[in-house]
Amino acid sequence: MDNSTILKQLKLLASLMELHDENTFKIRGYQNAIFQLDKMDVNLAAMSLAELESLQGVGKGIAATIQELAQTGTSEALQNLLEATPEGIVELLDMKGIGPKKIKVLWKELGIESGHELKEAANSGLVAKLKGFGEKTQQTIIEALEFKEANANKLHYADAEVIANELVEHLNGMKNVEKATITGGLRRKLEVAESLEILVASSDFNALEEELGALEPFEQLVEESGPLVWRGTFKKHRIPVELMLCDPAHFVREQLLKTGSQRHISIPVANDMSLRDMAYTGNFDSEEKIYEALNMAYVAPELREGTFEIERAKSNSLPRLVEMEDLKGILHNHSTYSDGKHSLRQMAEYCKELGYEYLGICDHSKSAFYANGLNEERVALQHQEIDELNKELAPFKIFKGIESDILNDGSLDYADDVLASFDFIVASVHSVLNMNKQRATQRLLRAIENPYTTILGHPTGRLLLRRAGYPIDHKAVIDHCAKHNVVIEINANPWRLDLDWRWVNYALEQGVKLAINPDAHAMEGYHHMQYGLLIGRKGGLTAEMTLNAMSRDAIEKHFSEKKEQVANA
Ligand SMILES: [Zn+2]
Ligand SMILES: [Zn+2]
């Protein structure tokens, strides 16, 4: 069992203990242990009881629970609590913004046992009348339930891609499948997948359906299926699966039609003919040939949204999309100085090993007390260590950055002389995420105006499928970044992917550069770069407009020019 599964189970156990009014000290003990373990670079499942007990925050009891979880997949205490709790209540425990204490009141006082019942009670105003709730909490509950409903059974891209690849591999191994490939929103690299759409070529649909029916990992939804589409689920994943069956001779045509958005395939391109029309004129042996037949440039799948790409493909002026090899450094990363898992040295050495020229370290700033943010003395200490490492690792270079919290009024949380000691500054919002659009935008605009701000971090704070971002006026924010020479981050964490790709092209048109930042909190986090890259490409991002596609010397120059601006401000 991996660490994250063990931690998930521990969290559930702590929530259930709270729900069932167990000893407060015991609950605090668990919460503290989870907080500590989350930051540790250890393999819990491989540790002995004595080793577990020696970990910070882990006593005898918790160590035994961890071992039980690692060995059996559950624990007796957890099983007992689960048996004493309705399933619907367990599900409500992971709802954002409402803790186990309140869930307990809802359960015991209103007899609520499911999300559905809770929604009814909230909509009829019963929840607001409970002691300690009120209108605001009731509204929070309604919004959280609606968000949860709207996102049920969806996956973010990184997870969906893994399952889809597994599914395609499985299909390609079947007797009656000639070829299978990913299409739909997943092939267009959309940030969230609602279903997995797979195109399957077969010369015998009946035999294929029979073969699918006999396979254990597949479960068909017969009523939702048709003669040319098989709908159902794949294994334990709850995401819907659509297998679109086609004759092998029509594979390329169907691949094109099932990949592009409706707009992309139906916009008239030449002589009133759309891509769809052209696809039906004959049997093409590649998608490239269909574009070619319309006298337009080939459009990469991720661009096929029907926005700017058709016009530009016609005039042969599509952007040359940024590629992994273009990226020369990794900015915005954390170390053990704040809430990262690996030391500054480990983060630097691994970055160098991956072939990058530089690393930007951006630990949390002093207001981020929850993340062990750096006060002024620890900033100085870190800078000393960076100077030493830079001597040792040259020509590789660590740039001194910080992820400075944007406070409620839009100011950054260090005095100017401290801000001036960094090479660059990522300014991000981490607190009071419930501002309205006008205030949230105003707050960002002020942070952008700050002459020390180099990069605006994760602009909306959204966590895909978990919580909506705070609402902002994207246009105003991007325009302001253009005016003040501030770069916008594409946070590459699969849960964020923020700046949203829908705003990438507008930012580029205003001359705003973007930085693909993994926001890594451990060495493995660097591998999230690929998702940020996809989202950038989806918006039309080129190497020229990517901050971290700059060489070490060029970015050093960019940082110092930005700092000169401060002197002239
Ligand atoms: Zn952040
Ligand atoms: Zn960060």
Report the distance separating Cα 293 and Cα 284, nearest Å.
Answer: 10
- Which ligand does the CA of 429 lie closest to? 1
Q: How confident is the model at residue 234 (pLDDT cuts 50, 70, 90)?
A: confident
Ligand 1 centre to CA of 381 (Å) is 22
- The predicted pLDDT at position 79 comes to 95
Ligand 2 centre to CA of 519 (Å) is 5
Ligand 2 centre to CA of 403 (Å) is 6
- The predicted pLDDT at position 522 comes to 95
Ligand 2 centre to CA of 526 (Å) is 12
- The predicted pLDDT at position 467 comes to 85
Residue 525 amino acid letter: G
More confident residue, 520 or 147: 520
- The predicted pLDDT at position 144 comes to 87
Ligand 2 centre to CA of 371 (Å) is 10
- Which ligand does the CA of 405 lie closest to? 1
Sheet holding 424-428, edge to edge: 329-333, 358-364, 397-405, 424-428, 455-456, 487-491, 514-517
Mean pLDDT for 463-482 is: 95
**HSE of 41, CA atoms in CB hemisphere, 13 A:** 13
Residue 95 amino acid letter: M
Ligand 2 centre to CA of 313 (Å) is 37
Ligand 1 centre to CA of 147 (Å) is 22
DSSP label of 45 = G
Ligand 2 centre to CA of 378 (Å) is 17
Is the pLDDT at 533 greater than 90? The verdict is yes
Ligand 2 centre to CA of 362 (Å) is 7
Ligand 1 centre to CA of 294 (Å) is 45
Mean pLDDT across the chain, nearest whole number?
94
CA trace torsion 181, 185, 190, 194 (10° rounding)? -110
Is the pLDDT at 548 greater than 80? The verdict is yes
Ligand 2 centre to CA of 336 (Å) is 13
The total number of residues shown for the chain amounts to 569
- Which ligand does the CA of 427 lie closest to? 1
Ligand 2 centre to CA of 409 (Å) is 20
Is the pLDDT at 236 greater than 70? The verdict is no
pLDDT tens for 9-68 read: 999 999 999 999 999 999 999 999 999 998 888 899 999 999 999 999 998 999 999 999
pLDDT tens for 89-99 read: 998 998 877 88
Ion ligand 1: residues, CB < 5 A: 428
Residue 376 amino acid letter: E
Ligand 2 centre to CA of 331 (Å) is 10
- Compute CA distances 510 → 184, 342, 359, 480, whole Å: 30, 37, 27, 10
- What is the number of helices (H) and of strands (E) in the chain? 25, 14
Ligand 2 centre to CA of 364 (Å) is 7
Ligand 1 centre to CA of 12 (Å) is 25
Residue with token string 């279903």: 195
Whole-prediction pTM: 0.88
Ligand 1 centre to CA of 497 (Å) is 12
Question: Distance of alpha carbon 155 from its chain centroid, rounded?
Answer: 10
Residue with token string 């300014």: 427
Ligand 1 centre to CA of 379 (Å) is 18
Q: How confident is the model at residue 355 (pLDDT cuts 50, 70, 90)?
A: very high
Report the distance separating Cα 543 and Cα 556, nearest Å.
Answer: 17
pLDDT tens for 499-531 read: 999 999 999 999 999 999 999 999 999 999 999
Report the distance separating Cα 10 and Cα 32, nearest Å.
Answer: 11
- The predicted pLDDT at position 487 comes to 98
Q: How confident is the model at residue 220 (pLDDT cuts 50, 70, 90)?
A: confident
Helices assigned H by DSSP within 124-268: 134-150, 157-172, 184-187, 205-214, 251-259, 262-266
Ligand 1 centre to CA of 486 (Å) is 17
pLDDT tens for 78-114 read: 999 999 999 889 989 988 778 899 999 999 999 999 8
Is the pLDDT at 219 greater than 70? The verdict is yes
Ligand 2 centre to CA of 295 (Å) is 45
Ligand 1 centre to CA of 427 (Å) is 8
Listed range (55-69, 160-174, 213-227, 364-378) with the worst mean pLDDT: 213-227
Mean pLDDT for 258-283 is: 95
Q: Which two tokens stand for residue 257?
A: 């039609």
- Which ligand does the CA of 463 lie closest to? 1
Ligand 2 centre to CA of 61 (Å) is 33
Ligand 1 centre to CA of 556 (Å) is 23
pLDDT tens for 156-208 read: 999 999 999 989 998 999 999 999 999 999 999 999 999 999 999 999 999 99
Mean pLDDT for 471-493 is: 98
- Which ligand does the CA of 338 lie closest to? 2
> What is the C-alpha end-to-end distance of the chain, expressed in Å?
55
Ligand 2 centre to CA of 527 (Å) is 15
